[in-house]
Structures are given as C-alpha cells and as structure tokens.
Structure 1
Amino acid sequence: MLEQDAVRSFYRAYPNRVARIRQRLGRPLTLAEKILYAHLDDASSQPIARGSSFLLLRPDRVAMQDATAQMAILQFVSSGRTRVAVPTTVHCDHLIVGRAGAKEDLDVALRENREVYEFLANAAKKYGMGFWKPGSGIIHQVVLENYAFPGGLMIGTDSHTPNAGGMGMFASGVGGADAVDVMVGMPWELLCPKLVGVHLTGRLNGWTSGKDLILKMLEKLTCAGGTNKVIEYFGPGVASISLTGRGTVTNMGAELGATTSLFPCDERTLNYLRATRRADVADEAEGVLNDLQSDPEVAAWPEKFYDECLEIDLDRLEPMLVGPHSPDLAHPVSRMKDDVEREGYPDEIKVGLIGSCTNSSYEDIGRAAHLARQAVAKGLRCRVPLLITPGSDQVYSTLERDGQLEDLKKIGASILANACGPCIGQWKREGVPPEDEKYNKANVIVTSFNRNFRGRNDGFKSTLAFIGSPEMVVALALSGRLSFNPLTDTIPVAGGEPVKLDPPQAADLPPDGFVFDDRGFQAPARDGSQVRLDIAPSSDRLQLLDPFPAWDGRDLLGARVLLKARGKCTTDHISPAGKWLRFRGHLDRISDNLFLGATNAFTGETGLGTNLRTGAKGQTFASIARDYRANGIAWVAVGDVNYGEGSSREHAALEPRFLGGRAVIARSFARIHETNLKKQGVLALTFADPADYEKVREDDRVDIAGLTAFAPGMPLTLRLHHADGSVEECPLAHSYNAEQIGWFKAGSALNIMRAQADGPVGAKPASAKARPATRPEPALRPKAGKSAAKATRRKTRPTSGKRSASPATGGTSARTARRKTVKETGKKPVRRMKTDRKRK
C-alpha cells in the first residue's frame, strides 16, 4: 500500500536536504526543523522566520476521512485534474453509528450511507486515490499501520492527523482547501511554526501512560498554548513510551492547538514498522537515523534552539482525568474525590467508552483487558455500560485471536465497529430516550477520547464528559464512581473481600504478530477516466457547489451582528456533528446547524438569537442568517478566545459564507479554522485590544473600514454604530499575506484556481452556456415572484435524472502563493490547468 519507491527515493535525498538547510542556517537543527525545511518547495531562498514567514511545502501524502472528503473531492473536481498529484487516501470511519454491535452497525451504515460511500469510492477510482471501506478502521490508526514513515510530511483533513507524529512524521490537520491544493500539485502554505521542546526524564510506570502525559501537557499549556507551534519531545524518558503511546500524545497535541507534535525515531519506531510489514521502510530509516532525531547540540542546550522549553519527570507523573467540557481542565486522580465534592459533579458514572483515534491500539485495549481479567477472577463486572471501538480491522482481528476482546466481554463490555462512533456523537446512548433532545439531567460519562466539549459525545448539553486512559475508564466502570482512585481504593464485592486492582500490563506489540487484514482496502485504479461521478439533483446528502461571489470592492457598511459568542466556541459549536454528519456533502442542508452549540453572549442561550430585522427572539442562528441573506443584509460574527478550536471541519467556515456572513471578529483564533475562513473568503480578524470585544452590542450596525487598502500588516477599523446613536471605533488586526488577501478579493481561494482554468477572475464567459469564474457580490434578495421565505433556502438546480459532477466551487482551495515564489526566485509559474469537463 505504501509507495515503496517513493519512500526509498525520499530517504536517499533526505540527508542532503537536511545538510543544505543546516548549512544555510549555520547551526544545529531540531527534528521539526529537519523534517519541515527538508520539504520546502524552494529550500535555497524561501524566508524562514518562526512565527512570521509563510512556508511553501511539498507534502508526501494526503489523508481524508469520509465526513470531510466529500467537500474536498467536490472541490477537487473543479481543478480539471484527472489524477491526484501526491499519494492520497480516503478512510470511511465517521459515518458509522454505534447501535447494537460491530456487524449490525456496519450493515446499517452501508445501507444508510450508500450514496456517499459510492461517491467516495468512485471518486477514489477516478482520481487515483486509495480507498478504505467502512469498518476497515479509524483513519489515524490505519495511517499509522500502513502509511506513516519517519521524516515524512503529511496533511490530513482531520485535526488529529498529528497522530502520525508518534512515528516521527510531520503530520498536520488542515481544511479541505489546503488538501485540494496539494492534491492538484501546488505547495502547502504554512505559517512557520515556533518550537516547544519538552524534555522527558524518568519512566512511565504502573497506572501512567502516554495519555496521562498529554493530559499533563494540556494542564500546563491549555487548549490555546500550542497554537502555531510544534511540540517536540526528547530526552531519556522517550524510550519508556511505546510507539502507539507516542501516537496518543501527538494525536491530542491537536487539543493544545499545535500545528503538530513529534517524537524522534528510535528502536521502538523501527520495531513497529517491522511489526506492521514495513521492514524495508525501517531499514531505510535506520540508515539515516541521525537525521530523524534532533542534532546532539539541541538535546544538550535546548534553550538555545527552542522558543519554549518544558521539563516533565515521568516518574512523578500520576494518572489524570480532564473535564468536563474542556480537555485542559485537569484532575489528578488523587484529587478527584475532593474535586467531585467541591464542584458538585455527580459521582455516579452512567457510561464508560474506550476507543477513538486516540486510544484504540493493540496496547490500549490490551491494558484495559488486563484489568478485565483481574475483575473476572475476583467476581467483578462493570457497574455501567462499557462500549469499546477498536482502531482497525488489524487491531480487531489480533485482539480477537489473542483473547482480549473476550476478556472485556466477560465484564459486560460491548464491542462496536472499527470507527469513530461515540467520540463524535455517533452512537445511540442507552437510558436516554432518543427523541428527548432536551434531556437536561446532569450526568457523567468517562471516555478515553480526545474531546469533551459540551454536547459533543452524545448531543446532550447536560452531560459531563471526563477523559482518561483506557485502563482508567475500565477501573471507573468497574467501580461505578467518578471519585474512585484505583491506586488506593478498593471495589466492594457482594459476599467477598473488597478488590484492589493491580496496575495494568500489556505488550505494546502482539507476541505472535499482527493479523494482517486489508480486506477493506481498494487500491487506486490505473486509469479512472471512464468512471463517472453522478449526483442526483434530489439528493439531500450530496450537492454541487456554486462559486462564492467576489468582493464588491468596497468597505463593509451597516452589517448586523448575527452572533456574539461567549466563552468556548469550537468548530463543534459552530457546526455540530452527530446527526448532522449525514449532510456533510450538502452545504445547504448542513447549514441549518450553524452556531447551534454557540453560547449567545447577550442572552446566555445556546444556539438561539434575535432577528433584528423582524424583532423575533429565540430564533436559530441559521434561520436568522437565511432571512438576512434573503433581504440583502450582510452580517458578522464575534468570537471570544481561541475561536474555532477543535475539529478541522471546513463546514464551520463554509456555512457562514454560504449564509451571507462576511467576517468573523474574535479575540483570537485557532490555526486551522482561521485558515479555513480565509480560504472561503470570510474575513478572519482579531481585536487589536481584546477588551474591545466587550464593546459590541446586540443591536449594533457594523462597518469594517480599510478594505479598499487591505494589505499585509495594515490594520483595519471596526466601527460600531450603537442604537443610541453613539459610535465607537476599534482597531482590528489580521494575519493576511498578499496571497490570502487575493483569496478574499476573488471570493474564495478556489475561485482563483477556477480562474486558472477558465480565464481571468470576473472574465465574461466564452459562450452563453459558460459561467464566469466569479461574479460580483449580488444584491442579496429573493428572486422575482418568490417570497422571501421561499428564497431563504437555495434549491439544487433542476435537471432530469442524474448528472456528472461539474466543477464544485463553493469556495475553497486555490493557491496564489506560487506568485510570491515566482517573484522571489524567478521561477516560472505553474502551467495553467485545463479542465476535462464540458462547459455549462
């Protein structure tokens, strides 16, 4: 599956690339610098300045999961390319709902999502992508087992793509727009990250695991502490962490906001490669091992080479739980009893959940099974439901052979399909009426997942979700109490002695080897030119995209404030998953979930606001936005700190754009979401003074001045026209470079890519049937003869039967960064792409 020749060529060239960068910078290099700068599009002259310059990079791979791949592929069609330019895979893991068990759930998913799965499978055939069928595993576990390699550079349309950093691969989550750029052969643009060095001493032991290390990191740095930074782990403590344990750490580096996290390549890395049928990759990596680690001087004097340095003694690390509602709210288990009493958390646990891309490896579930064997021997069973999702077919088959799944079933566990499942709200929770969406009884669940935002795991805002290691989840499920400390407490047994659990133990690799299972893999077709992509106009799952309109050349005047979000506003809050996942390929339908999880700063309500045109209160933000759009009213949203943290889903940027949003103004942004907004033509701006957030009132009219002179480093001005007649001005900062300003002016990044195929932006069509690449911002009003109410929902263009997918241009994915490279290096620009479609 892994392209062996390409990997071999990479390792042949890698040492020389690193040497050139070392010579250019004139100093020793960290591991992150070696990998990142070795992938520069032009290593000789591209500016390298941490925290300020934008790098143009050449990734080795792209990975996409089924919920985000739909929009990415719809956008890729518009490029006119007949095959992806770099190895790309699609993984079906997000759309499977946990209900009754692995087989039953997979059967239901195949029926319910047939249209989407066929679209993705056919697109993979047509464009030369690898395709992993539903049930074959969670994207990041499958990538770790088959595609990740030390020193490589990968981007993925999922925020937990950094999971491969445990392998020593620079792997970063992106929106679909960035993925499409790379798929068509353009560079990936990334703000040159700052570096955080984490020196590990001591050893993991007893109840501690890689999960506890990353939870400790979240306690130290918080969910915003890693933004635009790479976290690099080094030191003697690294050797005590298994390869998949390292993957857990780098996976949840996404919760720090980090661009990625990295571990050095060592014996554990090579052993895992050989155990997963990649001995040739291990041999190649071993030959360049010194360049798959930081230079010795870095380890000796880290403060000279990292922007920040941390020290963690693994001997002193203790098991942790984090929550509720944020993965940086940490509780050492030794203090959990006191925290439960002080905070008033319910002590009774309702459900335990193990799995997700973070903790579903052979070792993870093996440690949980070790506790299960102890429990069975001493007459214990889980006091609450325990649900387990293995990470892949390979993990599932190996655990089944070795008996761990049976051990877990004996204490009452249920095994679900190899998928994301409950982590993203894709399960039918027992004990709660499925129709009761307003269930508001405070209750506790414990998981080994990665995020615990309010409502994420089960859709209920009243659920308090706590995150820990898989073994901690089993211990808590056996006791039934959140305050239980397995290091000191015992579990009562009816008619017997109380049980004290021994620390969990498990092999990181199966003694008898993995059961290799690739039945779910569809290899890229050699020639996909005859494959058609058909989308029914009546579909509510897939919808072709129209271009977003270009900027009208004027400052924004008189816009309404649709939402002022108070507190945490993640992409889960902006565009919830759960039941909405089925509409990820249909922009109109999924836009109805806009801001459903956001807290209204003016009313304290969740997901509801006031329509200032009609005066109606308690309306969903989507319905208000549709009404504003139908009546030609532009709007902005206002965010708090770290706005858009969490998932990489670009729908959180596409939906505001589609419903008429013009800008998001926040105290600060999460990296991926800020880029996604820019790609879609939505202004991503920050208050120069974060305190100015408090000046925004619900009934303000908003101007954004300075757009006619929009330039890198030049502030804009927010003008607030209050209802009492007073006016306040606030300076706005931004991080736009010249290319990104071009995206805004064109209407989206994808519009620029389309223009490369169709002609100059805004050019007149060559025939009456041809559409221009972009069009000026129209008056947002209903079509003649239609009521405003009917016009608020965009209809799919009528046509008979099915039609082949034409260019999908809802705004995403173009690159003008090449122009900068041309200017600085004198290289010729990329040849304009031709499209293989018929012009409409």
Structure 2
Amino acid sequence: MATICNMGAEIGATTSIFPVTDASHRYLQSTRREQASRDVKLLESFPGGGSSPDAYFRFAADENAQYDQMIEIDLEKLEPHINGPFTPDLATPLSEFKKTVQEEKWPAKLSAGLIGSCTNSSYEDMTRVESMVKAAEQAGLKPAAEFYITPGSEQIRATLERDGTLEAFTEAGGIVLSNACGPCIGQWKRQDGVENGTPNAILTSYNRNFRGRNDGNPETMNFLASPEIVTAMAYAGSTTFNPMTDSITAPNGKEFRFPAPRGLEGPATPFEQGKEVFKALSQPPNPDVQVAIAPRSQRLALLDPFDPFPSSDLAGLRVLVKITGKCTTDTISAAGPWLKYKGHLPNISENTLNTAVNAETGEVNAAYDLDGSKHTIPELAKKWKQAGQPWLVVAEHNYGEGSAREHAALQPRYLGARIIVCKSFARIHETNLKKQGVVPLTFANEADYDKISAGDEVATVGLYEMLNNGGKGDVSLKVTKKDGSGEVLIPVKHAVSEDQAGFVLAGSALNLLSKGL
C-alpha cells in the first residue's frame, strides 16, 4: 500500500489512499502509537464514521461515497513486471522481459542491483529479501553484480540491524548504504568502474528511473522492479534472468533456484527508534531571530519575494524553447550534485531544463536567441532575465511528471517564466507552478502545439480578467510569429481555482501567506 501511494503520482494521481485495515492497527502498535490505533478503532465504531474528540486519524470513507471508476485486480493473476528504462510507466511482464531485452538490444549484463529507498524498504520487504539471500548463501552463491541496500528510515535501519537482517546482507556481499535518498536521487558516486557515458543496466526497487537520475550517467538504463526481483537479478548478474523459471549454477555444480520469498509483516518486538541525533529539532518560531548567511555562501541565499502579477494581461513574452518528448521534474531541475544548491536559488537555477530536448532542432539543452545565437537553455533564460524579457515554455504531454520537486517550479519563475503552455500537465507540478505565480495553460486543441515556435512573441487574452474573477473565464494566447508570417490566436484551458488565482496575482503563495491573507 505504501508503494502504491508513493508511486501513484507517476501515472497522474494527485493522491493515493487506502482504508484502514487490521495491518494498519498492527503497524501503529509496533511503532509505539497504540493510542492512535485505539482512536482509529473508536472512529470505526461510530455510526456513519463519526468522530472522537481524542482521535488523531479518520480512515473511514465518506458515507455514500461515489467513485468515477472501479477497477478490480485479481492478485492471483498479476504477474511481476519490470519497468523502464528511463521512465516508470513502461512496463514489461517478467515472462517477456528477456525477449524484450534482446529485441531492444538493451544490456544483458547487470552492473548493479539496488534495493530499498523510501519506496520498497518495509520490514517485510527486507525480510523477504533476507530469506532469498540466506538460501543463496547456503548454496554457496554471492551476488554476481554490485548489490546495494538502502534502509528507508532510521527506524527501519535500526530495527533491521537489531534483528540481524543487515548482517545477513553484508555477509552475503551486499553493501548497506546510509538511510537517505542516496542513489535514488543521484547521490551515488559509482565505484564499480562504470564510467560516465558508458551504456549499462541497473535494476532498482526505487520509485523513479529518469535518464541520469541515479548516477548522473545518461546512458545508465535503470529498470524498476520489486526488491525480490532486483535481488534475484543481482545474483544472476543478468537482465535476462527470470527467477520464476531459471536457475543459477552453484559452485558445487548443482542448479539453484530461488525459493518463494518469505518475510515477516513486522518485527516480533516494537520497532527500534534509532539514534536520537538524526531526529529533527523543533521549537516555536521566533520572528525576532535573524537568519545569518555568509556573504560568500554558495549553498544558501535568502529568497527574495517574486513580483506580483501586473495589473493587465501579459504582453511581450517570448517562447524560450519548444520542448518535445518527456519533460519531467528531473528534466526541469536535475538532482544529483545539484542538490547541494537547494538553498541557493540563483545557483540551482543554472540547471534549469538542461536535459530538455529542443523540438525544432532535436538538440539537448539548446536554445536560440532572437539574433540566432546558440545558448544552453539556462544560459538564455538567465540572459533574458537580466534583460527584463519575460518568457514561456511550450511542451507536450504530462509536463512535470515525477517527484514533487518544488524547485522545478521555483527555478523557471526565478528566471522569468510567466506561463507554461503544453498538451497536459502532471497535476502535482501544475499545482506547484501556480503556487510560485506561474500560470499553467493547456492547448484547447493539441494540434495548436505546431502553431507556436521558439522566439515567437506571445500576449495573453483574458488571463488577467480570469484571475480577478477567481479562476472563471476563458483565456487565449495571441502569438506573433517571429518569422513575420503574421498572428495566430490559440485558445487555451486552465484549472485555476479561486485560491490559486490569489497566489498568481500576489506573485506567489508565499507572498500571500506572508501578508496573513
């Protein structure tokens, strides 16, 4: 359930939830939250899902709740899948993966298998893998590929260490990493001889696998699978291995097949809480305390408020770049080494859209100024910001797919973006844009994507009125072609609510909140 809730955003879900189960109660109890579990049970006993004055949670569905669509999944018929490369929504059944690897000429050799992260690192996940590792150990086998384990939290790390699971992994040849995002978001300096630019395949049980995300190498193909599949593949050292049907030759010459994994839902005794030093400190806010930042700091900078929306429609915008293909939050704001600049908006903005594909030239990270000079996308955005030239981006489907990375909205806003127009948005990113004062618009007719080009001048029609009417009203874009071929009026759609209209008019949600409105 946790994995589905984590990855629901990958297929466009704003949120994913499950009703309370008996397992929910057992988990709350094993994490020393017996009172919360008791309160939930009290809620369930109230007619119509009523409330208890002491309750912390309410897990009941609304009375007479209606759903747009019901999908039933027979878990007995659900085959394991492997997803990727370069996108979490390209799924291949395990039984067909070997054939697909061969047809697509993907690497047959597996260079690394990585399990854990926030997505698949529950106690049950890890103990199921432990059963596989111990079975392979008894057969004399070690992982044929580098095998890494990332506990999902300090609590799970401490508990797995107490119960001997981490020791089983290290004795088998696995490498236990710190309980942090690590390779999942690019904090992985590989030591296995795979140089940047070298095509290779890895399997992970992480939640996302966009190009260059894990190790900064755009040629690393990351395939997503369950921890059990990743572990089996790591022992085989091959992407064509099917643990449901295939065997590995053990040192004694016998054929070894992994038994069905067996794990424990939770520990026999409550979870360990781990080291106190890793817990967040909390104290009441004090507006009298001044935030002091070293003048030469490259990692921290105060955030200046964004300018409010002008008292008219936007005019004189230019199309910075027209993007083709997948444009994720990783594309807009790369992770990896860049994350050290998360507290310094000018510095991290230097990576803005630096892996986007220019629709008109096919180049990666290339944009052209009005005089024809070539720049990287962030270079041109920075140049236009300094010249006071506002801009927009034109893109295709599911713009902003991936993690809810706030910087993917902050950076374009900082550099001068006022609107993004595309065929469709990932909904979390669409909301983030509005919180930063950028207006997300979609083509009313997707074919109009072809009518707008980089360098074109754009003015909004009806946008200011729509914002002042609390999100009600039609909006169009008047596009003056850079090549002098005339003007075209493009109708666009929006999903701006009354609150969000207030964010945009104020310049950002933070601007509005800082005024106590």
SS in structure 1 opposite 2:210? coil
> Partner residue of 2:494?
734
RMSD (CA atoms): 2.1
Q: Which amino acid aligns with 2:316?
A: G
**Of residues 607, 626, 631 in structure 1, which corresponds to 2:387?**
631
> Partner residue of 1:489?
246
> Partner residue of 1:382?
143
> Partner residue of 1:504?
261
In 2: Cα distance, 1:395 partner to 1:550 partner: 45
TM-score (ref. length: structure 1): 0.57
| Cα distance, 1:394–1:548 mapped onto 2, change above 3 Å | closer
| Superimposed CA distance per residue, residues 216-248 of structure 1 (whole angstroms, 9 cap, x where no aligned partner) | xxxxxxxxxxxxxxxxxxxxxxxxxxxxxx212
1:272 equivalenced with 2:32 (yes/no): no
1:667 equivalenced with 2:428 (yes/no): no
TM-score (ref. length: structure 2): 0.92
In 1: Cα distance, 2:462 partner to 2:15 partner: 35
Task: Using the TM superposition, give the Cα deviation of residue 527 of structure 1 relative to its aligned residue in structure 2, in angstroms.
Answer: 8.1
> Partner residue of 1:718?
477
| Superimposed CA distance per residue, residues 375-432 of structure 1 (whole angstroms, 9 cap, x where no aligned partner) | 1100111111111111222222221222211221122110111111111111111235
For the 8 Å contact 1:265–1:289, the answer to whether it is kept is: no
Q: Which amino acid aligns with 2:184?
A: C
SS in structure 2 opposite 1:382? coil
> Partner residue of 1:405?
166
| Cα distance, 1:596–1:372 mapped onto 2, change above 3 Å | same
- Aligned pairs (5 A) from 1:427-446: 427-432=188-193, 439-446=196-203
| Cα distance, 1:311–1:390 mapped onto 2, change above 3 Å | same
In 2: Cα distance, 1:688 partner to 1:715 partner: 11
| Cα distance, 1:738–1:289 mapped onto 2, change above 3 Å | closer
- Aligned pairs (5 A) from 1:64-463: 246-289=1-44, 291=49, 292-294=59-61, 305-432=66-193, 439-463=196-220
Uncovered stretches (5+) of structure 1, i.e. residues with no partner: 1-245, 299-304, 757-814, 816-840
In 1: Cα distance, 2:335 partner to 2:323 partner: 19
In 2: Cα distance, 1:308 partner to 1:570 partner: 27
In 2: Cα distance, 1:610 partner to 1:404 partner: 55
For the 8 Å contact 1:713–1:735, the answer to whether it is kept is: no
> Partner residue of 2:459?
703
> Partner residue of 1:475?
232
Uncovered stretches (5+) of structure 2, i.e. residues with no partner: 50-58
Task: Using the TM superposition, give the Cα deviation of residue 659 of structure 1 relative to its aligned residue in structure 2, in angstroms.
Answer: 0.9
| Cα distance, 1:707–1:396 mapped onto 2, change above 3 Å | closer
In 2: Cα distance, 1:724 partner to 1:742 partner: 36
Task: Using the TM superposition, give the Cα deviation of residue 346 of structure 1 relative to its aligned residue in structure 2, in angstroms.
Answer: 1.1
For the 8 Å contact 1:325–1:464, the answer to whether it is kept is: yes
> Partner residue of 1:553?
311
SS in structure 1 opposite 2:103? helix
In 2: Cα distance, 1:395 partner to 1:745 partner: 44
Q: Which amino acid aligns with 2:326?
A: K
- Aligned pairs (5 A) from 1:795-814: none
Task: Using the TM superposition, give the Cα deviation of residue 488 of structure 1 relative to its aligned residue in structure 2, in angstroms.
Answer: 0.5
Q: Which amino acid aligns with 1:555?
A: D
In 2: Cα distance, 1:263 partner to 1:657 partner: 35
In 2: Cα distance, 1:528 partner to 1:554 partner: 38
SS in structure 1 opposite 2:102? helix
With 523-532 and 707-716 compared, the bigger mean Cα shift is at: 523-532
> Partner residue of 2:52?
none
| Superimposed CA distance per residue, residues 235-293 of structure 1 (whole angstroms, 9 cap, x where no aligned partner) | xxxxxxxxxxx212212122222222222212211111111111121111112225334
Q: Which amino acid aligns with 1:646?
A: G
Equivalenced residue count is 500
| Cα distance, 1:574–1:342 mapped onto 2, change above 3 Å | same
Q: Which amino acid aligns with 2:310?
A: D
For the 8 Å contact 2:185–2:213, the answer to whether it is kept is: yes
| Cα distance, 1:525–1:630 mapped onto 2, change above 3 Å | closer
Q: Percent identity?
A: 45
In 2: Cα distance, 1:522 partner to 1:707 partner: 43
Q: Which amino acid aligns with 1:594?
A: T
In 1: Cα distance, 2:443 partner to 2:460 partner: 12
For the 8 Å contact 2:142–2:173, the answer to whether it is kept is: yes
SS in structure 2 opposite 1:312? coil
For the 8 Å contact 2:332–2:356, the answer to whether it is kept is: yes
| Superimposed CA distance per residue, residues 152-185 of structure 1 (whole angstroms, 9 cap, x where no aligned partner) | xxxxxxxxxxxxxxxxxxxxxxxxxxxxxxxxxx
SS in structure 1 opposite 2:202? strand
| Cα distance, 1:456–1:378 mapped onto 2, change above 3 Å | same
For the 8 Å contact 2:320–2:455, the answer to whether it is kept is: no
Q: Which amino acid aligns with 1:314?
A: L
| Superimposed CA distance per residue, residues 531-564 of structure 1 (whole angstroms, 9 cap, x where no aligned partner) | 6532222211111122212233233333221121
| Superimposed CA distance per residue, residues 335-378 of structure 1 (whole angstroms, 9 cap, x where no aligned partner) | 11111122221111111111111011211111111111011100
| Superimposed CA distance per residue, residues 439-473 of structure 1 (whole angstroms, 9 cap, x where no aligned partner) | 33321110000001111112122111111111111
In 2: Cα distance, 1:749 partner to 1:530 partner: 23
> Partner residue of 1:753?
513
Which structure has the higher relative contact order (CA within 8 Å, separation 6+)?
A: 1
Q: Which amino acid aligns with 1:396?
A: R
Q: Which amino acid aligns with 1:370?
A: S
Q: Which amino acid aligns with 1:275?
A: S
> Partner residue of 2:351?
593
In 2: Cα distance, 1:501 partner to 1:624 partner: 54
With 552-561 and 635-644 compared, the bigger mean Cα shift is at: 552-561
Q: Which amino acid aligns with 1:498?
A: E
- Aligned pairs (5 A) from 1:758-837: none
In 2: Cα distance, 1:273 partner to 1:261 partner: 19
In 2: Cα distance, 1:514 partner to 1:343 partner: 44
SS in structure 2 opposite 1:553? coil
With 737-746 and 473-482 compared, the bigger mean Cα shift is at: 737-746
| Superimposed CA distance per residue, residues 603-627 of structure 1 (whole angstroms, 9 cap, x where no aligned partner) | 22222222224x222x211110111
- Aligned pairs (5 A) from 1:504-523: 504-519=261-276, 520-522=278-280
In 2: Cα distance, 1:708 partner to 1:329 partner: 40
With 246-255 and 702-711 compared, the bigger mean Cα shift is at: 702-711
For the 8 Å contact 2:141–2:251, the answer to whether it is kept is: no
SS in structure 1 opposite 2:340? helix
Task: Using the TM superposition, give the Cα deviation of residue 518 of structure 1 relative to its aligned residue in structure 2, in angstroms.
Answer: 5.0
